[in-house]
Structure 1
Amino acid sequence: MKKLFRNIHLWLSLPLGILISIICFSGAALVFEQDITKALQGELYCITPPAKDAKALPPAQLIENIQEQVSDSLHLTALQLSHNPEEAAFASFRETGKKRLSVNPYTGETLGWTKSYPFFQTMRKLHRWLMDPPASKGEKSAGKVIVGVATLLMVFILISGLIIWIPRTRKALKNRLSVSCTKGWRRFWYDMHVSVGFYCTIFLLVMALTGLTWSFSWYRTAAYSLFGENPTASAHRTDKGKEKPRKEEIKITWKDAQASAPQSMKGWFYAFHTGSWGGMPTKVLYFLAALSGGILPLSGYYLWWKRKHYK
């Protein structure tokens, strides 16, 4: 049985290894995007309360103030508030994509637009579409399909690798949980591939299984339905054409001091895909796992080449 899974692991990894490395390395680069962006644009994220016991404006009042200060061509779709008294609120608009408007929650004054840096924009295009983004949201592109297929097959690579890893003896278990640094480079990379692969498999599986919801609509429908949500119905409820959303239709979410509190199934999948669900500790773990996920195929190529040429 192990021979079968070893063949599956090998013959899927050989053609897909480079793609998986690209997806993992670019994903690792995106883990701390929000934290770095927040640090570089502190004036848009951090505010000083006007008084010690000052209270933020009610959401309805904030919405009115925002709509008075922006162009009528912009349609407000979501407002993110924070329980942290020193954090700004953020307004999202249908026409601006990920670009959000920072708002002082105490006065309703707009502070400016957030921006994404070229490095992260490039990493996102590489991670999601291999630099071949769809012409419009929801459509397909060759890059999007390739990333989706590679991610789907990555699940089989990870599962087959885990089955191969299972040791038969206690001594073998000890060897497969540690890395030897005194027995040559080949042994070092073998131990790295086996032990590090085991430690990061669960994280890589979570990333892959959640990431697939952005690649295939059929997978997204099945995944959301598994947790009791109908994405098609949700899409119909939120798609209002070009009509200006009423106040009751504007989505209001809350952000706590550590991480976003997802208000929808998409939010939960995003949080578990990026590691933001547990704050900085889980982000660090996801970063290390994604970095290791990029190294694993390269170490696998090295071991395969050594085995082929130095039997």
Structure 2
Amino acid sequence: MKLWLRKIHLTLALLSGLFLLIVSLSGAVLIYAKDLQHLIQPEKWLVTPAEKPLNFDTLINSVQTQTQQKTVFLMPEQNPTMAWQFRLANNHYASVNPYTSNVIYTYQSTDTIYGFTLALHRWLLFESSDGNKPFKNWMSVCALLLLINVLIGFYLWVKPKNRIKRLAIKPKAKLRVLLYQLHTVLGVYFFVPLILIAFTGMAFNWKTQTQSVLELVTQNKVTNRPAPPKIPV
């Protein structure tokens, strides 16, 4: 039984390892992607604050006039030095100075560091001509494989005796032994975070399925987020 579980543990890691590496690296970059954008290209994302932003109607009308596109939604910022982002009907975005209503940059999502990293993180950048993102299902499968693998790894550690004594790293051990100890110790310490990361990653794509699992485990009903208000056109 233990031997078979080890083989399954290794096989699942090999099947999903490359994709999980991409997801991990892109997820780490994603945390700081907007900060990098602001640092590298401040003229496109930062503005000089004035007394207070213009009202929504004025901003929407001005942006629609400048871009010749209807505004789908806008994203105000709490930070007074940051430009506001508008999504347009042609699926482009506009970075707008909220104090003057000037459009300072128009772009597609993947033109930015944040958008590129997010697309890589969620669906490996690939999008078919009809707008489908087939790789997003594979990324969810990899998250599921990670969840299963973490559970198997935890079982392999917790089942034998002396499990606490095996939570030790001996720096002078041979490289193979040292790597095994690091694998075990880090896997146990990060067991809960890895489970949460894998499950929430799947929830971005498999919303209905993960919601059903969550409601079953918690015996509570998940409350859906209210729909955002529509912009009058």
Fold shared, TM-score > 0.5 on shorter chain: yes
Q: Which amino acid aligns with 1:154?
A: L
Q: 1:42 matched to which residue of 2?
A: 42
User: 1:228-257 CA distances to partner (integer Å, 9 max, x unpaired)?
Assistant: 2289xx6xxx9xxxxxxxxx6229xxxxxx
Determine the C-alpha separation between the residues in 1 that align with 2:48 and 2:114: 29
Residue correspondences, number: 226
Q: 1:31 matched to which residue of 2?
A: 31
| Structure 1 position 92, deviation (Å) | 1.3
What are the residue-to-residue correspondences of 1:113-152 with 2, within 5 Å? 113-114=106-107, 116=110, 126-130=120-124, 132-137=126-131, 139=132, 141=134, 143-152=135-144
**Higher RCO structure, 1 or 2 (CA under 8 Å, sep 6+):** 1
Determine the C-alpha separation between the residues in 1 that align with 2:35 and 2:78: 18
Conservation of the 8 A alpha-carbon contact between 2:34 and 2:113? no
Gapped regions of structure 1 (runs ≥ 5):
239-247, 252-311
Q: 1:9 matched to which residue of 2?
A: 9
Of 28-37 and 102-111, more deviation after overlay is shown by 28-37
Give 4+ residue runs of structure 1 displaced > 6 Å after superposition: 1-4, 118-122
Q: 1:285 matched to which residue of 2?
A: none
| Structure 1 position 43, deviation (Å) | 1.5
Determine the C-alpha separation between the residues in 2 that align with 1:153 and 1:88: 40
C-alpha RMSD of the superposition: 3.6
SS in 1 for 2:87: strand
Conservation of the 8 A alpha-carbon contact between 2:37 and 2:45? no
Q: 2:97 matched to which residue of 1?
A: 104
What are the residue-to-residue correspondences of 1:145-294 with 2, within 5 Å? 145-166=137-158, 172-173=163-164, 175-176=166-167, 178-216=168-206, 218-219=208-209, 222=212, 227-229=222-224, 249-250=230-231
Q: Which amino acid aligns with 1:199?
A: Y
Residue 93 (str. 1) matches residue 91 (str. 2): no
Determine the C-alpha separation between the residues in 1 that align with 2:112 and 2:71: 25
Give the structure-2-normalised TM-score. Answer: 0.75
| Structure 1 position 8, deviation (Å) | 4.5
| Structure 1 position 58, deviation (Å) | 1.8
| Structure 1 position 23, deviation (Å) | 3.2
Gapped regions of structure 2 (runs ≥ 5):
216-220
